[in-house]
């Protein structure tokens, strides 16, 4: 296994550590399980996706959107699951949902990854149709950016986990409507 493969899989151990640390906080558990599910799907399709030489960047864009969209709309997803199953866990998650700075940072990292993959996908097609003669964004630069994004994602996840107890305590002390109160 090379360095880049190890860094690609580093999100799963970070998510598991964050999940173990924050297990008693339902909203955080739901968020981390959602992201972990998509990371596991991505890891399972890792070798298969590398056989799609031209379309690997399209696959990467789809995976980025599969993480970003459910994270943004996870509150509505929790309500829909509650309406289907009547499990009280999803109702509590729906009622206690609050966005954190770290979640927005993680979404931003996935958007950067999406933009990088979109640029690479366009670059591949321009190269295939002889519009450009060489790679604008070489593998060295692209790999450095991807490694940096993965390391920043791990740091963001661990920061999110460490800040969870304080964040939950804050919302318990200030009430549910704190974020929407107009004074």
Look at residue 138 and tell me whether its pLDDT is greater than 80. Answer: no
Give the closest residue to 166 by CA, choosing from 21, 17, 7, 12. Answer: 21
Looking at every residue in the chain, the average pLDDT score rounds to 88
Print burial letters for 80-113: b (CB count within 10 Å at least 16), e (below 16): ebbeeeeeeebeebbebbeebebbebbbebbebb
- Res 173: pLDDT: 85
21-43 per-residue burial string, b: 16 or more CB within 10 A, e: under 16: bbeebbbbbbbbebbbebbeebe
Q: Does the pTM of the predicted model rise above 0.85?
A: yes
Q: What is the pLDDT of residues 52-108, one digit of tens each?
A: 888 999 999 999 999 899 889 999 999 999 999 999 999 999 998 888 899 999 999
């Amino acid at each position: 296994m090379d360095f880049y493969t190890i860094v690609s899989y580093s999100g799963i151990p970070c998510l598991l550590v964050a999940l173990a640390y924050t297990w008693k906080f339902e909203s955080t558990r739901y968020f981390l399980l959602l992201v972990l599910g998509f990371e596991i799907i991505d890891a399972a399709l890792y070798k298969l996706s590398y056989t799609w030489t031209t379309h690997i960047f399209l696959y990467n864009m789809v995976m980025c959107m599969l993480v970003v969209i459910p994270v943004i709309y996870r509150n509505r997803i929790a309500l829909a699951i509650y309406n289907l199953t009547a499990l009280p866990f999803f109702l509590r998650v729906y009622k206690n949902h609050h966005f954190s700075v770290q979640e927005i940072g993680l979404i931003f990292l996935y958007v950067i990854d999406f933009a990088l993959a979109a640029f690479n996908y366009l670059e591949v097609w321009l190269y295939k149709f002889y519009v450009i003669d060489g790679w604008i964004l070489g593998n060295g630069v692209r790999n450095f950016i991807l490694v940096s994004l993965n390391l920043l994602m791990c740091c963001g996840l661990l920061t999110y986990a460490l800040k969870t107890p304080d964040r939950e305590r804050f919302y318990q002390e200030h009430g549910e409507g704190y974020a929407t109160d107009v004074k």
